[in-house]
Amino acid sequence: MKKSRKVLLITFLVVLFLLIGGKIIIGNMVGDVQNISVSMPDLSNVQDGKYIGEYLITPVHVKVEVSVSNHRITNIAILQHDNGLGSAAESIVNDVVEEQSLDIDAVSGAAVSSKCILKAVENAIENERGRFVLMKTIVIYNSKTGFTKRYAEWIAEATGADCIELSAAKKRNLSAYEAIIFGGWACAGSISKISWFKGNMDKWADKKLIAFCVGGSPIDNPEIDIALKRNFSESEQKKVKIFYCPGGFNYEKMSTPSKLMMKMFVKTLKAKKDKTETEEIMVKMISSSYDISNKKYIEPILQYLKK
């Protein structure tokens, strides 16, 4: 009997603890919601297109796709809504489209989800990523010492694209993507593994195609543009846009054969008499590891994706 009373007491205390804890959590959540401001972005400078935005107030997470035409919101699609008990809030998107405003009262009984949806719509238009016209994009890369992978991840982060290594891309069906970006490292004037990309270009005729090369030369090297174009025929250049991103050298991550080859090249270049100014600069740069990568160099790629 005493044992039964003890079990009942423990059960009561646990339930009481959960109720108090839940009340505190809900109270904090409501307080957080009340402190979040939502403002309607200026649509006068927003181009026609579809934009993605998201917002999170744990445990509610919302992701939306906002369609804009003639500087008006024409549709809002809920892509994701981890809503708890707030599914009724999804009807608020109809009011936003009708009123062309985010100054909308929350749906009764779904205040948290309502605020999350409104904030996600705001973010879709305001955020840098949201300003990209929604195009299902994948970034595929072949990286040797990490620089190409870094640029691929930067591009994916800025655009919301999928990002995978070439080995994984070869096993995947890419037909659903509208834009395919391939990145490889510079190898004796060529883009590494570019033959795989070129071999698929004909079946990707309906997609926006981009190739970028990551090398150790500074961006202002006049020979870069010539070298890049050598990777594609004239007819292929009409189907793909090519970019260059400065990376660097990382001897620590190079394979032993590549490292030995580079050391021999540097030694030969150093021994050369009457070196040109370009060769003098090259000797200084590639004699040891260096990193000239910068996120700013992906900007031309991002601008091309927006067109």
pLDDT tens string 183-216: 999 887 789 999 999 999 999 999 999 999 998 8
Q: Provide the β-strand partners of residue 270.
A: none
Given this model, what pLDDT does residue 92 score?
Answer: 93
Helical spans, DSSP H, in 131-276: 147-159, 166-169, 194-200, 223-229, 234-237, 256-271
Quick check: 5 pLDDT over 70?
no
| Single-letter amino acid, residue 154 | W
pLDDT at 270 over 70: yes
The predicted model gives 60-88 an average pLDDT of 86
Cα–Cα dist 201/82, whole Å: 39
Mean pLDDT of 114-142: 80
Confidence of residue 29 (pLDDT cuts 50, 70, 90): very low
The answer on pLDDT for 291 being more than 50 is yes
Res 303 pLDDT > 60:
yes
pLDDT the model gives residue 84: 61
**Amino acid 152: pLDDT:** 96
Q: Mean pLDDT highest for which of 29-33, 118-122, 138-142, 154-158?
A: 138-142
Q: Name the pLDDT band for 27 (thresholds 50, 70, 90).
A: very low
User: How far, in Å, CA of 305 to CA of 132, rounded?
Assistant: 8
Structure tokens belonging to residue 161? 């694209």
Q: What is the pLDDT of residues 219-246, one digit of tens each?
A: 888 888 888 999 999 999 999 999 999 9
Checking if the pLDDT of 249 tops 50, the result is yes
Dihedral pair phi/psi, residue 110, rounded to 5°: -140, 50
What per-residue confidence (pLDDT) applies to 21?
39
3-class SS at 100? Answer: coil
pLDDT tier at 124, thresholds 50, 70, 90: confident
Give mean pLDDT, residues 69-88. 85
Whole-number pLDDT of residue 145: 85
Above 60 in pLDDT, residue 79? yes
